[in-house]
Every structure is written in C-alpha cells, then in structure tokens.
Amino acid sequence: MGDSGDLARAYSDDSVLFRVLRHLGWDSLANIGYFTPPTLPLAALTGPVPFQRRLVRRSLALLDARPGQLVLDAGCGRGDTTARLGASGCRALGVDIQPAQIDHARRRFGDSARFAVADATALPQRAAGVPLTDGSFDRVHCLEAAFHFGHEGRRSFVNESFRLLRPGGRLVLVDVTSRTDQPIGTLDPNGLVRGTWRFDDIEPYERYPLMASAAGFTTRRILDWTTPVLHRAAQLCALFVGTASTRAGRQALCVRWPGLRTLDAQDWDEVITVVRAHRAIGRVTRYTAYVLDKPADGVAARPAGRLPNGRPAV
C-alpha cells in the first residue's frame, strides 16, 4: 500500500476536490454513492450523503454478517461503515493505514466498534487488542479502498483475507475496476485522477476472480454497479461543472452550500479540470462488487484461471 502520509492528503483539504466534497456533505463516509433514476435529481439538492449511505447498505447486505460474528472492515476510513456493523450486533474491527482517519473513527464511533491503524495488505498479529489469527474472522469487508493498494497489495489483501477467514467465511470486495488491462497512464495521461486520490493503477475487473480463486475462494457473485455508481455520478459531475463554469452558477452553488465560498477563482478552475479528468476516465472504468466465499472444510474452490462464467480470466 502507498505511503499513509501521501494518501492522507487525498482525504484532507490539501485536495481541492476533497474540500469541495466536504462542503457538499462528505464526512464520515467517503464513497461515490449509489444513484437510482427516480432519486437522481434529488442529489442536486441533498448532496451525496443519502446515496453514499445507500451504497454502504448494498455492500453490507452482500456481506450478510450476523450478530455476534467477528468482522474486519478493511480500509475503514472514518469508521461509519464499521460502526454500522457494530450497531447491528457484530464484533466489528476497522483498520486503516491513515492515523488521522482512525483518530476520527475512534472519536465518533469508538463506542460501537474497535479501530486500529494497520495495513490491510500486511496485517499485524493483533489490532486494537483483537488477535488476527488464521481462521479467526467470520467476514471481511472492503468498500472502495482496494484501488489504493496497488496490484501486489490487492493480491496480498485477498490472500490475507482468506487466511483470516474461518471456513465458510466471506469477503465482500467492492472496488473501482478497469474494463481492460490498458495501463492507467493512457487513461489519465496528466495524472490528475491518480494524483487526486493517490493511487497508481486499478485492477481489471476480470482479474479479481482469478486472484480470489488462486487464494482458495469460491466466487459467489459478481455485481456490476457501473451504471448506478459511476455513470450516474458522472451525470452529476457534468451538472456541477456546467454550473460552476459561470459566475452566476458559482454564486448559486454557494447559496446552497455556503462552505464553497472559501474557494477562490483558481480553486474553481482547478476543481473543474479535475472533475473533467474523472469524467474522462470514468468512460473506461467499471464499479464492481465481488462476493467471495471461503469454502467449508472439504469443499473445493473453483480452479484458478477461469471466471465464474467459464471464460478464461485476464
């Protein structure tokens, strides 16, 4: 995984895009959101939070964690999702490589769950007093964080998850993926998207099942959430850029979200450029949810090298 200090700048006011998103409502949640056609117009009025919560609910529904189960929330950020697991009766542990995020999570949600600074791709023996021993967890959850890990880090995380889970356990991994194995540099030639969120590459969507199978997992489900997440977010981005491109539009945005008044002309120009870069890369990326089960004793996993539909993995 990348340097925690460098990554922290992506989720702080050092990033003009994060500053804008914070003024729009980002706080304990930092995901794109899940948008449906009937409610999409509301996003222009409410901001992203209701849709971010919807994405969390959908991801946790795939996890199917039960009260009393021990759950690891990997790349937990500011802890909202971990706290939801704790509030549902799970014994939830959230880990993140960024100390500032974990400090925030402990302050906000320390009564609902445990939190620790740890690298999800190379877990310690204990975190927040919880042993991270082989077969000790019932569920592992990772929502929109693994793109930060790098290719080898993602492979390591999948292997670590398999080691950590008991037989019959489950990993739910939701991530931004690419449609092909085309190098990210050709999709983001100026590095605006990678520089904003501090990542090097994204995984081809067909490669995750191959990683999972090699680790020993059975791929239970693969869900393509590209349209409700990326495509509809892109529509909102287009609306934002169109509005922010005029003086009157910026004034209107500041009336609705007064915090945006802190942006100067250079900030507005920069955020418009960065959002346009995101829209460009969004045309060749996907958003995918993987449900990966560790077989119960005596049950063989799917052979490595093939996807659930029988096609060879990339």
Residues 131-151: tens digit of each pLDDT: 999 999 999 999 999 999 999
Q: Which of the two residues, 13 and 166, has the higher pLDDT score? A: 166
3-state secondary structure of 129: coil
Other beta carbons within 10 Å of 293: 19
The DSSP call for residue 32 is -
Q: For residue 1, is pLDDT > 80?
A: no
Residue 95 to residue 312: CA distance in whole angstroms: 34
Is pLDDT above 80 for 172? yes
Segment 51-101, tens digit of pLDDT: 999 999 999 999 999 999 999 999 999 999 999 999 999 999 999 999 999
Please tell me the chain's helix, strand, coil percentages from 3-state DSSP, rounded to the nearest 5: 45, 20, 35
User: Quick one: pLDDT at residue 3?
Assistant: 60
- Lowest-pLDDT range of 127-131, 212-216, 261-265, 283-287: 283-287
**The pLDDT value given to residue 203:** 94
Can you tell me the distance from the alpha carbon of 5 to that of 3, in angstroms, rounded to the nearest whole number? Answer: 6
Q: Residue 222 burial (CB < 10 Å; 0-12/13-18/19+)? A: middle
pLDDT at 301 over 70: no
| Alpha-carbon gap, residue 290 to 222, rounded angstroms | 5
Per-residue model confidence (pLDDT) at position 302: 44
Element (H, E) at 213: helix 207-215
pLDDT in the model for residue 4: 65
Task: Work out the average pLDDT over 206-234.
Answer: 96
